[in-house]
Amino acid sequence: MTVTTAPAAPVTSGQQTQSFSSTDAEQRFNNQRPSVEGYSNDQPSYVLSLWTDRAHNDSMNSLRKTYFPPKLNKIPAHITLFHALPGSKLESDVLPAIRHIASRTPPYRVRATNPMRLSHGVGIKVADDIDHANDSTRGRNMTRIVHAELRKKWGEWLSEQDSTPPRFHYTVMNKVNNERVVEQALAQLEESFKRGEDVSGGKFDHSGKNNDRLDEEGEGTDRHQKLAFVGEVQGLILWRYERSGHWADPEQFKFTGRDR
Protein backbone atom coordinates (compact mmCIF):
# COMPACT_ATOMS: atom_id res chain seq x y z
CA MET A 1 0.00 0.00 0.00
CA THR A 2 1.28 3.34 -0.91
CA VAL A 3 2.05 5.67 1.92
CA THR A 4 0.49 9.21 0.63
CA THR A 5 2.42 11.96 2.13
CA ALA A 6 0.58 14.91 0.74
CA PRO A 7 1.40 18.60 1.17
CA ALA A 8 1.25 19.56 4.84
CA ALA A 9 0.12 23.16 4.30
CA PRO A 10 -3.64 23.71 4.15
CA VAL A 11 -5.08 23.04 0.72
CA THR A 12 -8.46 23.93 -0.66
CA SER A 13 -10.65 22.64 -3.42
CA GLY A 14 -9.80 25.68 -5.53
CA GLN A 15 -6.15 24.68 -5.89
CA GLN A 16 -4.80 22.91 -8.95
CA THR A 17 -5.44 19.17 -8.89
CA GLN A 18 -2.91 16.39 -9.39
CA SER A 19 -3.23 13.92 -12.24
CA PHE A 20 -2.13 10.59 -13.70
CA SER A 21 -2.21 9.59 -17.36
CA SER A 22 -5.78 8.74 -18.34
CA THR A 23 -4.87 5.18 -19.39
CA ASP A 24 -3.20 4.35 -16.07
CA ALA A 25 -5.98 6.06 -14.15
CA GLU A 26 -8.78 4.17 -15.89
CA GLN A 27 -7.05 0.81 -15.35
CA ARG A 28 -6.41 1.63 -11.68
CA PHE A 29 -10.02 2.77 -11.25
CA ASN A 30 -11.35 -0.53 -12.62
CA ASN A 31 -8.97 -2.60 -10.47
CA GLN A 32 -9.90 -0.82 -7.23
CA ARG A 33 -13.68 -0.65 -7.39
CA PRO A 34 -15.25 -1.09 -3.93
CA SER A 35 -17.60 -4.01 -3.23
CA VAL A 36 -20.70 -1.83 -2.91
CA GLU A 37 -24.06 -3.11 -4.09
CA GLY A 38 -25.19 -1.01 -7.04
CA TYR A 39 -21.75 0.57 -7.42
CA SER A 40 -21.35 2.34 -10.77
CA ASN A 41 -18.25 3.36 -12.68
CA ASP A 42 -19.86 6.77 -13.05
CA GLN A 43 -19.71 7.63 -9.36
CA PRO A 44 -16.59 9.17 -7.79
CA SER A 45 -14.05 7.29 -5.72
CA TYR A 46 -11.95 8.73 -2.90
CA VAL A 47 -8.36 8.28 -1.70
CA LEU A 48 -7.39 8.65 1.98
CA SER A 49 -3.80 9.49 2.85
CA LEU A 50 -1.74 10.64 5.81
CA TRP A 51 -1.06 14.35 6.30
CA THR A 52 2.54 14.90 7.42
CA ASP A 53 4.55 18.01 8.25
CA ARG A 54 6.13 19.98 5.43
CA ALA A 55 9.83 19.32 6.15
CA HIS A 56 9.37 15.55 6.11
CA ASN A 57 7.11 15.69 3.06
CA ASP A 58 9.55 17.93 1.20
CA SER A 59 12.37 15.42 1.72
CA MET A 60 10.32 12.50 0.42
CA ASN A 61 8.94 14.57 -2.43
CA SER A 62 12.47 15.58 -3.43
CA LEU A 63 13.38 11.91 -3.78
CA ARG A 64 10.24 11.22 -5.81
CA LYS A 65 10.98 14.13 -8.15
CA THR A 66 14.46 12.76 -8.69
CA TYR A 67 13.68 9.09 -9.32
CA PHE A 68 10.13 8.97 -10.68
CA PRO A 69 9.96 9.23 -14.51
CA PRO A 70 9.25 12.97 -14.94
CA LYS A 71 6.47 12.59 -17.51
CA LEU A 72 4.61 10.17 -15.21
CA ASN A 73 5.16 11.99 -11.92
CA LYS A 74 1.84 13.81 -11.57
CA ILE A 75 1.23 13.67 -7.80
CA PRO A 76 3.34 14.47 -4.72
CA ALA A 77 4.98 11.90 -2.47
CA HIS A 78 2.32 10.24 -0.39
CA ILE A 79 1.34 7.48 2.06
CA THR A 80 -2.03 5.99 1.13
CA LEU A 81 -4.31 4.38 3.68
CA PHE A 82 -7.20 3.58 1.33
CA HIS A 83 -7.20 3.71 -2.46
CA ALA A 84 -10.89 3.55 -3.42
CA LEU A 85 -13.60 4.72 -1.03
CA PRO A 86 -16.96 4.91 -2.86
CA GLY A 87 -18.75 8.21 -3.27
CA SER A 88 -22.06 6.54 -2.45
CA LYS A 89 -20.75 6.02 1.11
CA LEU A 90 -19.18 9.46 1.50
CA GLU A 91 -21.78 11.19 3.67
CA SER A 92 -23.17 8.14 5.47
CA ASP A 93 -19.95 6.25 6.31
CA VAL A 94 -16.69 7.77 5.09
CA LEU A 95 -16.78 11.32 6.45
CA PRO A 96 -18.31 10.46 9.87
CA ALA A 97 -15.68 7.78 10.49
CA ILE A 98 -12.79 10.04 9.44
CA ARG A 99 -14.01 12.90 11.63
CA HIS A 100 -14.48 10.59 14.60
CA ILE A 101 -11.04 9.04 14.41
CA ALA A 102 -9.37 12.44 13.81
CA SER A 103 -10.98 13.76 16.99
CA ARG A 104 -9.61 10.81 19.01
CA THR A 105 -6.11 10.53 17.54
CA PRO A 106 -3.16 12.68 18.67
CA PRO A 107 -0.43 13.76 16.25
CA TYR A 108 2.40 11.22 16.24
CA ARG A 109 5.82 10.77 14.73
CA VAL A 110 6.80 8.54 11.83
CA ARG A 111 10.17 7.65 10.36
CA ALA A 112 11.22 6.82 6.81
CA THR A 113 13.33 3.75 7.60
CA ASN A 114 14.97 2.36 4.45
CA PRO A 115 14.49 1.85 0.69
CA MET A 116 12.80 -1.30 -0.61
CA ARG A 117 12.49 -2.84 -4.04
CA LEU A 118 9.13 -2.65 -5.83
CA SER A 119 8.15 -4.50 -9.00
CA HIS A 120 8.97 -1.58 -11.28
CA GLY A 121 10.64 0.86 -8.96
CA VAL A 122 11.67 1.70 -5.40
CA GLY A 123 9.71 2.57 -2.26
CA ILE A 124 10.67 3.94 1.14
CA LYS A 125 9.40 1.99 4.15
CA VAL A 126 7.64 3.98 6.84
CA ALA A 127 7.12 3.07 10.49
CA ASP A 128 6.04 4.85 13.64
CA ASP A 129 8.97 6.56 15.35
CA ILE A 130 8.48 4.86 18.71
CA ASP A 131 12.02 5.31 20.02
CA HIS A 132 11.09 8.63 21.61
CA ALA A 133 7.39 7.99 22.21
CA ASN A 134 5.94 8.68 25.62
CA ASP A 135 4.93 5.83 27.90
CA SER A 136 1.28 5.81 26.86
CA THR A 137 2.05 5.18 23.18
CA ARG A 138 5.39 3.36 23.37
CA GLY A 139 5.47 0.37 21.06
CA ARG A 140 2.10 1.17 19.48
CA ASN A 141 1.89 1.57 15.73
CA MET A 142 -0.59 4.41 15.42
CA THR A 143 -0.78 4.23 11.63
CA ARG A 144 -1.87 0.61 11.80
CA ILE A 145 -4.31 1.39 14.61
CA VAL A 146 -5.94 4.17 12.59
CA HIS A 147 -6.08 2.00 9.49
CA ALA A 148 -7.46 -0.99 11.36
CA GLU A 149 -10.23 1.02 13.03
CA LEU A 150 -11.36 2.50 9.73
CA ARG A 151 -11.12 -0.85 7.94
CA LYS A 152 -13.32 -2.39 10.64
CA LYS A 153 -15.98 0.28 10.06
CA TRP A 154 -15.84 -0.03 6.26
CA GLY A 155 -14.95 -3.70 5.86
CA GLU A 156 -18.20 -4.84 4.26
CA TRP A 157 -17.75 -2.76 1.13
CA LEU A 158 -14.01 -2.08 0.75
CA SER A 159 -12.22 -3.08 -2.44
CA GLU A 160 -10.05 -6.20 -2.38
CA GLN A 161 -6.89 -4.07 -2.29
CA ASP A 162 -8.11 -1.95 0.62
CA SER A 163 -9.17 -5.06 2.55
CA THR A 164 -5.68 -6.60 2.59
CA PRO A 165 -3.03 -5.88 5.26
CA PRO A 166 -1.18 -2.69 4.29
CA ARG A 167 2.52 -2.10 3.72
CA PHE A 168 2.97 1.60 4.40
CA HIS A 169 5.56 3.29 2.21
CA TYR A 170 6.38 6.15 -0.12
CA THR A 171 6.77 5.28 -3.78
CA VAL A 172 9.72 7.29 -5.14
CA MET A 173 10.19 5.36 -8.40
CA ASN A 174 7.61 3.41 -10.39
CA LYS A 175 6.67 2.37 -13.94
CA VAL A 176 10.32 1.73 -14.87
CA ASN A 177 10.87 -1.48 -16.82
CA ASN A 178 14.66 -1.18 -17.07
CA GLU A 179 16.05 -3.48 -14.37
CA ARG A 180 19.45 -1.81 -14.40
CA VAL A 181 17.94 1.63 -13.81
CA VAL A 182 15.88 0.37 -10.88
CA GLU A 183 18.88 -1.32 -9.28
CA GLN A 184 20.99 1.82 -9.67
CA ALA A 185 18.28 3.91 -8.08
CA LEU A 186 17.96 1.45 -5.19
CA ALA A 187 21.73 1.51 -4.60
CA GLN A 188 21.81 5.30 -4.65
CA LEU A 189 18.87 5.57 -2.26
CA GLU A 190 20.50 3.09 0.11
CA GLU A 191 23.58 5.33 0.12
CA SER A 192 21.36 8.34 0.80
CA PHE A 193 19.83 6.67 3.84
CA LYS A 194 23.25 5.54 5.06
CA ARG A 195 24.63 9.08 4.88
CA GLY A 196 21.44 10.84 5.92
CA GLU A 197 21.30 13.06 2.86
CA ASP A 198 20.13 13.10 -0.73
CA VAL A 199 23.22 12.06 -2.72
CA SER A 200 21.46 12.21 -6.11
CA GLY A 201 22.15 15.89 -6.57
CA GLY A 202 18.58 16.23 -7.72
CA LYS A 203 19.29 14.36 -10.95
CA PHE A 204 18.83 10.82 -12.20
CA ASP A 205 19.32 9.57 -15.75
CA HIS A 206 16.46 7.19 -16.55
CA SER A 207 18.33 5.86 -19.56
CA GLY A 208 20.66 4.18 -17.09
CA LYS A 209 23.71 5.31 -19.05
CA ASN A 210 25.08 8.16 -16.98
CA ASN A 211 23.49 8.36 -13.57
CA ASP A 212 24.88 10.83 -11.05
CA ARG A 213 27.07 8.69 -8.80
CA LEU A 214 29.38 9.39 -5.90
CA ASP A 215 32.92 10.32 -6.87
CA GLU A 216 36.01 8.39 -5.77
CA GLU A 217 36.29 10.30 -2.50
CA GLY A 218 32.67 9.47 -1.63
CA GLU A 219 31.59 13.03 -2.27
CA GLY A 220 28.75 13.87 -4.60
CA THR A 221 29.11 16.20 -7.56
CA ASP A 222 26.43 18.52 -6.16
CA ARG A 223 25.71 20.00 -2.78
CA HIS A 224 23.61 17.43 -0.92
CA GLN A 225 20.63 18.22 1.26
CA LYS A 226 19.89 16.58 4.58
CA LEU A 227 16.88 14.29 4.57
CA ALA A 228 14.15 14.75 7.18
CA PHE A 229 13.61 11.07 7.96
CA VAL A 230 11.38 11.76 10.96
CA GLY A 231 8.09 13.55 10.48
CA GLU A 232 4.87 14.24 12.33
CA VAL A 233 1.54 12.85 11.15
CA GLN A 234 -0.82 15.76 11.67
CA GLY A 235 -4.01 14.23 10.33
CA LEU A 236 -5.64 12.72 7.24
CA ILE A 237 -6.33 14.00 3.73
CA LEU A 238 -9.28 12.85 1.61
CA TRP A 239 -8.96 13.28 -2.16
CA ARG A 240 -11.54 12.71 -4.88
CA TYR A 241 -10.11 10.29 -7.42
CA GLU A 242 -11.47 10.69 -10.94
CA ARG A 243 -11.35 8.37 -13.93
CA SER A 244 -9.46 11.08 -15.77
CA GLY A 245 -6.64 10.51 -13.29
CA HIS A 246 -7.02 13.62 -11.15
CA TRP A 247 -6.80 13.77 -7.37
CA ALA A 248 -9.15 16.65 -6.69
CA ASP A 249 -10.63 18.71 -3.84
CA PRO A 250 -8.29 17.64 -1.00
CA GLU A 251 -9.91 17.97 2.42
CA GLN A 252 -7.79 17.84 5.57
CA PHE A 253 -8.81 16.39 8.93
CA LYS A 254 -6.49 17.44 11.75
CA PHE A 255 -5.68 15.03 14.58
CA THR A 256 -6.93 16.72 17.76
CA GLY A 257 -7.10 13.82 20.22
CA ARG A 258 -4.98 13.19 23.28
CA ASP A 259 -2.71 10.19 23.84
CA ARG A 260 -4.74 6.99 23.75
Residue 85 to residue 162: CA distance in whole angstroms: 9
Residue ranges of domains in the chain, CATH in brackets: 5-178+228-254 (3.90.1140.10)
Q: Which of residues 70 and 101 earns the better pLDDT score?
A: 101
- What angle separates helix 54-67 from helix 179-195, to the nearest 10 degrees? 150
- Please compute the mean of the pLDDT values over residues 210-228 and round it to a whole number: 60
Integer Cα distance of 58 and 131 in angstroms: 23
- pLDDT band for position 129 (50/70/90)? confident
| 95/117 Cα distance (integer angstroms) | 34
What is the residue-averaged pLDDT of the chain?
Answer: 80
Whole-number Å distance between alpha carbons of 165 and 162? 8
Q: What is the pLDDT of residues 203-216, one digit of tens each?
A: 888 876 665 454 44
Contact 98, 255 (CB under 8 A): no
The answer to whether the CB of 246 falls within 8 A of the CB of 24 is no
> What tens digit of pLDDT does each residue of 31-81 get?
555 555 444 566 789 999 999 999 999 999 999 999 999 888 878 899 999
Whose CA is closest to 60, among 134, 130, 141, 5? 5
The answer, yes or no, to whether residue 9 has pLDDT greater than 90, is: no
Q: Is the pLDDT of residue 256 over 50?
A: yes
